[in-house]
Amino acid sequence: MQQHLGRQVGVGKVDVSLVDGKVVIYPKEDSHFDPVAIFKAVYDSGVSVTEMTITANGELLDDPAKGTVFRIASNEVFEVKPNVISEQWMRQAGSGKNIKLRGLLYKKPSGRVKRKAPETFPLEILEVLN
Dist. CA 79–CA 70, nearest whole Å: 6
39-68 residues near another protein, rule: CB under 8 A: 42, 46-59
Site membership for another protein, residue 30 (CB under 8 A): yes
Site membership for another protein, residue 25 (CB under 8 A): yes
Report DSSP letters for 13-46, one per residue.
Answer: EEEEETTTTEEEEEEPTTPPP-HHHHHHHHHHTT
**Considering CB under 8 A, how many residues would be counted as binding another protein?**
36
Residue among 20, 28, 24 nearest 2 (CA): 24
Site membership for another protein, residue 21 (CB under 8 A): yes
Give contact residues for another protein (rule: CB under 8 A).
1, 16, 18, 21-27, 29-30, 33, 38, 42, 46-59, 71-76, 98
